[in-house]
Amino acid sequence: MSEVFLREILQEYDAIQREESRSLHQRRQEIFNKIPELAKIDRDMVELMARQSREIILNPNDSSTVIDQLQKEIAQLKTRKIELLDENGYPRDYLEMRYRCSQCEDTGYVGYPIKEKCGCLIQRLLEKSYQLSNIQDLDFENFSTFDPMVFSDELLENSKLSQRQYMVQLRDRLIDYVSKFPDNHRKTILFTGKTGLGKTFLLNCMAKSIMDQGYTVIRISAYKLFDQLFYSSISDKNNYEGLQRQLFEVDALIIDDLGTETRRNNYTSEDLFNIINERTLQRSHTFLSTNLSLSDLRQRYSDRITSRLFDVSNTMLVRFRGSDIRLRQK
């Protein structure tokens, strides 16, 4: 999906360059008609620069005197050009290309011979990703706002760790995971546990960290996802296929609250299988959360779905335990 976004943005850059080229052409025509001397200066400069290039190519070792004279004449023409613009009330850059980004000159890349993404291009990729992600309040739900004190310090059942210690360890584990994104061995993460234990919060933390690295994320509730797939499948085939393509191509797909979706015969299971299977085959990242236990998931979904979800060679299973932090805060 990030490659799709990159192509779209580079097309936008091309459109910006074409628009500015047209605008520059219009400005040149306007000012040359008004100040004919500028048109002559422009032609003379083109001719002098062409002569300079020929001298460098034909006489690379003994043309310094000629080149120095040509450069002097070009500089004089540039000075006269600026004087004419000033005298007639025009900005000095009126006959220059105007770039929205002076660093990359609206190409999206900087550096030579090795080119790297310009900051403006990285920013546009991030904006695209955030628009797609369907995530709210990431300024409040990210690893930097993680507060261990909201979790109980009582020991978890059959454990030497408190809920607070357990969640701090999990946070650190997930920070390490996203720092290695997308080169993780296991591409799927499944959060299980009752409501109010922090599953959605940590999914948002991961989403923000991944998007801040320039990758794309979709985070959507299972209820909304399968509703959209169902209704688009029966009303608009093109929309259905487009939605599927987004779900298959996005760098990280986050499905929250799996198990809350409406069950419609085989529609939901088939869509879920297609999503998980396709992304598993592509070695893409998929993160899911559910309030259901593993045994409940087995009963609700087909074996071919759960066999992929529970495949520990590709899936990190994370069980959330302890007391509801929302009740604790109240």
Tens digit of each residue's pLDDT (9 = 90 or more) over 112-160: 887 888 878 876 776 666 565 556 566 678 898 999 999 999 999 888 9
Query: What is the CB neighbour count within 10 angstroms for residue 43?
Result: 11
Q: Which CATH class is domain 134-329?
A: alpha beta
Cα distances (angstroms) measured from residue 189 to each of 163, 178, 319: 20, 12, 11
Q: What is the pLDDT of residue 138?
A: 64
| C-beta separation of 273 from 240 below 8 A | no
Residue 317 in 3-state DSSP?
strand
Do the Cβ atoms of 320 and 288 come closer than 8 Å?
no
Pull the structure tokens for residue 44.
């003379």
**Cα–Cα distance for residue pair 325/328, rounded to 1 Å:** 5
- Structure token digits, residue 224: 């909304």
Asked whether the bond before 182 is cis by omega within 30 degrees of 0, the reply is yes
Between helices 36-58 and 2-34, what is the axis angle to 10°? 120
Supply the DSSP symbol for 145.
G
pLDDT in the model for residue 306: 92
Instruction: Report whether 301 contacts 174 (CB < 8 A).
Output: no
- Six token digits for residue 302: 């087909």
Domain extents in the chain: 2-117, 134-329
Query: Which pLDDT belongs to residue 125?
Result: 75
Phi-psi region of 76 (alpha: psi -120 to 50; beta: other; left: phi over 0): alpha
What are 126's two structure tokens?
A: 């991030």
Coil/strand/helix, residue 133: helix
Hunting for tokens 């409040």 — which residue is that?
140
pLDDT at 119: 75
Beta-carbon count within 10 A of 126 CB: 17
Q: Residue-wise over 245-254: b if at least 16 C-beta within 10 A, else e?
A: eebbbbbbbb
Q: What is the dihedral of CA 240, 246, 247, 248, to 10 degrees?
A: 110
| Spans of the chain, pLDDT less than 70 | 1-2, 60-63, 123, 126-139, 326-330
Q: What is the pTM of this model?
A: 0.65
Specify the 3-state DSSP secondary structure of 254. Answer: strand
